[in-house]
Amino acid sequence: GQQLNQSPQSMFIQEGEDVSMNCTSSSIFNTWLWYKQDPGEGPVLLIALYKAGELTSNGRLTAQFGITRKDSFLNISASIPSDVGIYFCAGPNSGGGADGLTFGKGTHLIIQP
């Protein structure tokens, strides 16, 4: 089946730093989604990307849909304590979404005081 590889697995940063994480796949995806999950809660959709090369922002978050359709990047500028959590990339399964989403294993973001 399709797999999404996220890196890094964990990030330890200082408040105020910028954050970059990425997601790669051996398969082509036509949609890339980025979610954030807080402890004990469900994932919350941050950004959705629908076109290769697309660059989309949501406040301090910026995500890009790679030209090859096999990768995507998420950047967070000027991190704040509430950015702590697990960030997941996801894309529709090969059934065009009819089979649900494939998720990466997540990037754990930890902000040190």
Partner 1 sequence: ETGVTQTPRHLVMGMTNKKSLKCEQHLGHNAMYWYKQSAKKPLELMFVYNFKEQTENNSVPSRFSPECPNSSHLFLHLHTLQPEDSALYLCASSRTVYNEQFFGPGTRLTVL
Residues that bind partner 1 (CB under 8 A): 31, 33, 35, 40-45, 48, 88, 90, 92-93, 95-101, 103-106
Instruction: Give whichever of 3 and 68 is closer to partner 1, judged by the CB atom.
Output: 3
Instruction: Give whichever of 18 and 99 is closer to partner 1, judged by the CB atom.
Output: 99
**Shortest distance, CB of residue 32 to partner 1, whole angstroms?**
10
As given in the structure block, the two tokens for residue 53 are 């090369």
Which amino acid makes up residue 2? Q
Instruction: Give whichever of 49 and 79 is closer to partner 1, judged by the CB atom.
Output: 49
State how beta strands 32-37 and 55-58 pair.
unpaired
**Shortest distance, CB of residue 39 to partner 1, whole angstroms?**
10
- E strand intervals along 15-113: 19-24, 32-37, 44-49, 55-58, 61-65, 71-76, 85-92, 101-103, 107-112
Give the separation between CA 73 and CA 77, rounded to whole angstroms: 13
**Shortest distance, CB of residue 92 to partner 1, whole angstroms?**
7
